[in-house]
Structure 1
Amino acid sequence: MRGSAPKTWLVIVLAASSFSARADENKSDGGSSASLAPRARIECSLKRKPGEPLDPPSTAAIPGPESFVASQHFREDIAPTAAVKISWLGATFARRFAVKVEAADDTSLQTHVLNKPSSAVQILGELGPRAESKLADIWCLLKLQANGESGALQTSSVPNLFFVRDSMGDLGVVDALWGGAGWEIGASPVGSQRPWTPGTRVFSH
């Protein structure tokens, strides 16, 4: 009986070590939630200052003085005169989002940086109700970096993410990426399993 005691003790120690290693692994993985690190809050306004020309000229037809017609702003145009250089618009974005009309209010957006690969659902789970923003918010930020200047939006190969409701009222993911010649604007369903890479910048209210 004495001879079996050290073996039993060894088995207990090994089992405890294995359990501890698994616990540490699960802890480092962070479970299924996204890992967002908050950064600066950004203030932006689309309201025209006295004496400032309408931008673009076609906005004279906007229904209401404080309305934002997405199709009159989000257009592929990399000419020097473009209000915002946009080199590509995704088909999903054009179909689901570019047809929207929104209120052009002042906005305050919170920036976050993604620390590990996460799906849109995981990011939404962490942000909660404050996740939603508007196309007008995105355009407001784009105007501040119309030619790829540095600012709140990243201009590297890592995307900027927004959660926006489409023309049918369904929440979707809009991503903006500076492609060198202009901004590339895409959209995807919230339920997509695509993992967004670490370093992705996420915007919320």
Structure 2
Amino acid sequence: MRRLALNSCLVIVLAASGFSASADEKADGGSSASLAPRTKIECSLKRKPGEPLDPPSTAAIPSAESFVAGEYFREDITPTARVKISWLGATFARRFAVKVETTDDTSLQTHVLNNPANAAQIVDELGARAESKLADVWCLLKLQANGESGALQTSSAPNLFFVRDGTGDLGVVDALWGGAGWEIGASPIRNPRAWTPGTRVFSH
């Protein structure tokens, strides 16, 4: 249902603007991402003294600095869920849930997309600072575990991150609050899909 709704929005945007979602058109004068910088957000997954492990399993954390994505990103909307996640896309589960990352204190820059643009165009505009980690995504999700207001949008507009998958390829991870929980999807960086204005983008 989520993807159908987003596809309908995409059809409307394409019809209204005549925008072609080909990354190659940027060099030919096509629409650029036109990202408007917003606030910066600080986030840390490092455990404070006396704080319980998250998730509460020593087997899930090989070292104090490791983030095992598959132990965190799980569909769970029960009252005890660390982060309510109502849907995980198959591409995300296959490409990203297998990752193990190191955790660091992070500072993320938020941006708002002003024009329709595909992922390649957004990455071109952000340059080297486009890439973030799954640990960064989780850190922000944890701050808004039940859909509270915060850096992540909880409206119908998505939140985008550019993250390397288990094979080292850069991809798109999108998070959308679906009412019952977060919906986490993923797509290739060269996917021609145009993200709509109002999409929030996170970078370093």
In 2, Cα distance between equivalents of 1:184 and 1:59? 27
In structure 2, the residue matched to 1:12 is none
Q: In structure 2, list runs of 5 or more residues that go unmatched.
A: 1-28
In 2, Cα distance between equivalents of 1:59 and 1:193? 41
TM-score (norm 1): 0.84
Q: Structure 1, residues 130-180: CA drift from partner, whole Å, max 9, x if none?
A: 000000000000000000000000000000000000000000000000000
Q: Structure 1, residues 42-69: CA drift from partner, whole Å, max 9, x if none?
A: 0000011111111111254412111000
**Does the 8 Å contact 1:132/1:163 carry over to 2?**
yes
In 2, Cα distance between equivalents of 1:112 and 1:61? 33
Q: In structure 1, list runs of 5 or more residues that go unmatched.
A: 1-29
**Does the 8 Å contact 2:161/2:172 carry over to 1?**
yes
In 1, Cα distance between equivalents of 2:54 and 2:179? 23
In structure 1, the residue matched to 2:25 is none
Q: What are the equivalent positions in structure 2 for 1:6-155 lying under 5 Å apart?
A: 31-155=30-154
**Does the 8 Å contact 1:58/1:72 carry over to 2?**
no
In 1, Cα distance between equivalents of 2:33 and 2:112? 10
**Does the 8 Å contact 1:161/1:175 carry over to 2?**
yes
- Measured after TM superposition, the shift of residue 31 of structure 1 is 3.5
Greater radius of gyration (CA): 1
Tell me which stretches of 4 or more aligned residues in structure 1 moved more than 2 Å.
58-61
In structure 2, the residue matched to 1:190 is 189
Helix, strand or coil for the counterpart of 2:193? coil
Q: Which amino acid aligns with 2:47?
A: R
Question: Could you tell me the percent identity over the aligned residues?
Answer: 85
In 2, Cα distance between equivalents of 1:79 and 1:123? 35
In 2, Cα distance between equivalents of 1:77 and 1:192? 28
In structure 2, the residue matched to 1:4 is none
In 1, Cα distance between equivalents of 2:68 and 2:44? 15
Q: Which amino acid aligns with 1:84?
A: V
TM-score (norm 2): 0.84
Helix, strand or coil for the counterpart of 1:57? coil
Helix, strand or coil for the counterpart of 1:139? helix
In 2, Cα distance between equivalents of 1:123 and 1:134? 17
Q: Structure 1, residues 177-205: CA drift from partner, whole Å, max 9, x if none?
A: 00000000000001011000000000000
In 2, Cα distance between equivalents of 1:149 and 1:96? 28
Helix, strand or coil for the counterpart of 1:128? helix
Q: Aligned residue pairs: how many?
A: 176
Q: Which amino acid aligns with 1:152?
A: A
Q: Structure 1, residues 2-55: CA drift from partner, whole Å, max 9, x if none?
A: xxxxxxxxxxxxxxxxxxxxxxxxxxxx74321100000100000111111111
In 2, Cα distance between equivalents of 1:59 and 1:150? 31
Q: Which amino acid aligns with 2:186?
A: A
In 2, Cα distance between equivalents of 1:69 and 1:96? 13
- CA RMSD for the aligned pairs? 1.0
**Does the 8 Å contact 2:60/2:68 carry over to 1?**
no
Helix, strand or coil for the counterpart of 2:57? helix
**Does the 8 Å contact 2:41/2:109 carry over to 1?**
yes
